Every structure is written in structure tokens, then in C-alpha cells.
Amino acid sequence: MTDLEALPLFGEFCRAASEIYRRGWAERNGGNLSMLLEDGFGGLKPLRSFPIASGAGALEGKCLLITGGGKYLKNVERDPEDALALLRLGKNCAELLWGLKNGGRPSSELSAHLQSHAARLEADPKHRTVLHAHATHLVALTSVHELDDRALTKTLWSMCTECLLFFPDGVGVLPWMPCGTDEIGAATAEKMRSCRLVLWASHGAFAAGTGPDDALGLLEVADKAAELYIMTSGFPSPARIGEEQLRRLADAMGLSPREGWL
């Protein structure tokens, strides 16, 4: 076992990958996860390197554990050294220190992960994890709901009490864009400056947190709310949590919902 595999968060990372697959949010090679680590891997020699189109920026010198491109999340726990890549981030390239033993590259969404990590670190120094998954009900929601940050957030907040508790900063929404590009990475990161959850219309969601369980838990809460909306929206006059009730909830829990959204 390597020093990396002995880290408690490594096991949590691998379990999160399996859970995303088990939920049906990572069909085939869909979905990807990454986690920032302190550079404590000086004993590992670089195996090869990959260019970073957008540059590492504030992440230069840090290490990043990320799923590999084309790898299946269901296989991460079974063979992490094949499915994962441990990268040391340089100015314009990433050195592979461990992983991808059977070849391959880091996730095609590496740019989106790097830019999102940088944005979240500015907002929260405890930030560590970004995950991308094809959360079924959230993807469906983007097909039937106005693609507006405030409107979609208020819909999710109104579906179940936990939503305001776990994402008082709201949800960011992007229109459909080609995936795997610097463009969608930059747009995602811009939303991540003010919230931890970003939806890609007709595709999936990006969630950020202090660790894999935190980021996955955020996505679970939001997807459950989207499921409840889809289950009840066809009924006449569905009873939902109103604005006054949301204000009472925020006051009771000492929360500060996104300014101007209530």
C-alpha cells in the first residue's frame, strides 16, 4: 500500500466513486471526481506529464487526485491504480506521480476541475473536492424548468427542508455547452465563486465540498429535491415550502440565504 492509499480520504474518495455509479449517475465512463492534496509525495518520481491548457494558476505546486479519462467509476475501488491519477500541478503541465498504470490520461474535464478548485479555494480555504455526475433528476429538471439560477434554486428550496440547510448559497445553472472544453470549465468556475453546486443543462452537475462525502451529500440532497418536484409538479396546487416559511427556517438555523433570492 502506498502512502496515498493509506490516507483516510483516499478510501472515502473511492467509495464515493462507487456510490455515484450505484446510483446510476455514471453510466459507462460518465462522471469524474478530483481531490486536492498537500504535496507530501516527494518520494514519487514523475512517470510522465500532461499539458494544462488553462494553466494551474493558484493551484501550482499542489497535488490532485483525479479519475482517468475513459475510466469507469465502478472500477475505482477494485483497481484504483488503473482508474485514478495523482498529479503534481506545475505552471502549464501536470506530472503523473501515481496511477493510470495501464495507460490513459486524466479526465477530459480536468480543466473544469482545476478552475472550479481555484474558485472554491478563494471562497473556502477548507475546500478539497469537486465531483461531476449525471444526477438523473437534476438533469431531468433542466429539461422542464427555466434555466435561471434564482428561479431553479427557489424551486429546489421549496421542495424539502434540507435544501436551504445544505445549499443556502443556491445553485448555478449553465445552458447546454460542449463538455470537456475550457469554455465550460471557465463558466462553471465563475458560478462556483458564489455557490457549491452547478448544473449543466441536459448533462449533469458539478458539486464541491470539503471532502468526497460532503460533495456527494450535497448532490444527493439536490437530486432528491429535483425528484420530488418531478413527482409532484403535475398535481393541482401542490403544497410546497413558501418564502415566509423559508425565512423562518433560515432564522431558526442562523442561515444567510443568497442575498436577494428570498
Catalytic residue positions, numbered: 109
Mark residue 98 as left, alpha or beta (left: phi above 0; alpha: psi -120 to 50; beta: remaining): beta
Residue 86 to residue 96: CA distance in whole angstroms? 6
Residue identified by cell 473536492 is 129
Q: Do strands 197-200 and 204-209 pair parallel, antiparallel, or not at all (unpaired)?
A: antiparallel
Strand pairing partners for 197?
Answer: 207
Q: With beta carbons less than 8 A apart as the criterion, state whether 34 and 112 touch.
A: no
Q: With beta carbons less than 8 A apart as the criterion, state whether 107 and 69 touch.
A: yes
Q: With beta carbons less than 8 A apart as the criterion, state whether 131 and 124 touch.
A: no
